[in-house]
Amino acid sequence: MNAVGAASSGLLIDSHGRVLRDLRVSITDRCNFRCLYCLPETEEAADFYRNRFVPPTKDSAGSTPIQREWKPESKILTYEEIARVVRIFAELGIRKLRLTGGEPLLRREVEKLVGLVSAVPGIDDLALTTNGFLFGKKAQALKAAGLKRISFSMDSLDPENFKRMTGRAGLDEVLAGIRLAQEIGLNPVKVNAVVIRGLNDHEIEALAEFARQHDLSFRFIEFMPLDSKRSWQRDLVVPSREILQRLQARFQLVPVVSDNKSETARRWRFADGRGEIGLIAPVSEPFCGHCNRIRLTADGQIRTCLFSLHEHDLRIRLRSGESDEAVKDFIREVVGHKEDRHHIGEPEFVQPERTMSCIGG
């Protein structure tokens, strides 16, 4: 459908002609990990960045740590509120829903929420992103509630490095979680790794080999300036094309052609095995032109871009008794202001006040 057709059919269409189909809902801002690229609040993280500190340059995201505070429970949307919002978005043409966080499995009886949103007409793709640590305890209940797909985050296969990167000695739990997800049929299971130069870039080939052996869809993600200490530096980003060159030197890779222009990952499958790899390059090769995403934070703020500097308060509207139609009008207006692109690497770039753990990846 072209942009004009989409607008007349009541779909969400922004001022750049992009039709929004993908909603990401962060259901908590809390987390049981302290990933070095997200919440770098451990001694290991401090050591890593201390040794690499370079004076801020134009490309730096700024060096003042973000004053992060957990939102009180009273400000966090209830499951009923989230389900209502999802239904309203579905009526506006959203088809993909991803539950994320913080760590979504920390939210009490998360399977109840999965049950509520999986029953919303129109949502034909329901996924969840997790660090995997608690997945073993929740797997069956999530599947029974209607979860279709799951993405794990796992940046290292070395227990020591895993702990350094996440602040938690939890590699075994995450590996068991990945196996279990495959066993109960949440396939294809996706695994994400953020690659940081000097930290886990020596593991790129081993991670890809793991994907090949275990039939996983493995995504290598470029480090983005969204961490709580504003420690991001461009030199720490390993560009996707460098990762691809290294993988092509080691494996025979066949491009996976997709006609979904909004897909963020460029994908390859292994010619001689199962599984595939994907490269997500928001820093070196931005894909904003085809972005069809919109985000809702755990405290009910709409964000039209990961790097938005402004949020739009939906919670206040939900809690002041506004009708579905009034909420839809508000969402349409907000979507009209969706940013054309992010400005990482440009002199005017400003890192958002909220971290990835609050926004939801």
The one of ligand SAM, ligand SF4, none whose footprint includes residue 39, by CB under 5 to 8 A per kind, is ligand SF4
174 or 302, CB closer to ligand SAM?
Answer: 174
Q: Which residues pair with 19 in a beta bridge?
A: 13
Nearest to 64 by CA among 305, 359, 309, 352: 352
CB of 264 to ligand SAM, least distance (A): 11
Query: Is 187 in a helix, a strand, or coil?
Result: coil
Prior bond of 188 cis (ω within 30°): yes
Cβ-count burial of 214 within 10 angstroms (0-12 exposed, 13-18 middle, 19+ buried)?
middle
- 12 CB-side CA count, 13 A: 29
Place of tokens 């983005």: 224
| Binds ligand SAM by CB under 6 A, chosen from 19, 145, 186, 224 | 224
115 or 352, CB closer to ligand SAM?
Answer: 352
| Span near ligand SAM by CB under 6 A; candidates 127-135, 157-165, 177-185, 342-350 | 127-135
Residue 225 binds ligand SF4 (CB under 6 A): no
Residue 100 binds ligand SAM (CB under 6 A): yes
Query: Is 23 in a helix, a strand, or coil?
Result: strand
Dihedral sign (CA 315, 320, 325, 330): negative
Report how many residues bind ligand SAM under the rule CB under 6 A: 20
CB of 120 to ligand SAM, least distance (A): 21
Q: Which of residues 341-360 bind ligand SAM (CB under 6 A)?
A: 356-357
CB of 169 to ligand SF4, least distance (A): 14
- 102 within 8 A of 27, measured Cβ to Cβ: yes
d(CA 39, CA 31) in angstroms, rounded, equals 9
| Span near ligand SF4 by CB under 6 A; candidates 35-43, 175-183, 230-238, 265-273 | 35-43
14 or 227, CB closer to ligand SAM?
Answer: 227
Site string for ligand SF4, 108-147 (x = CB under 6 A): -----------------------x----------------
Question: Identity (one letter) of the amino acid at 216?
Answer: L
The one of ligand SAM, ligand SF4, none whose footprint includes residue 211, by CB under 5 to 8 A per kind, is none
Residue 129 binds ligand SAM (CB under 6 A): yes
Residue 11 makes CB contacts below 8 A (sequence gap 6+) with: 1, 19, 20, 92, 93
| Span near ligand SF4 by CB under 6 A; candidates 78-86, 95-103, 251-259, 287-295 | 95-103
Cβ-count burial of 299 within 10 angstroms (0-12 exposed, 13-18 middle, 19+ buried)?
buried
Residue 223 binds ligand SAM (CB under 6 A): yes
Residues at the contact surface with ligand SAM, assessed by CB under 6 A: 31, 37-38, 100-101, 103, 129-131, 153, 192, 194, 221, 223-224, 226-227, 356-357, 361
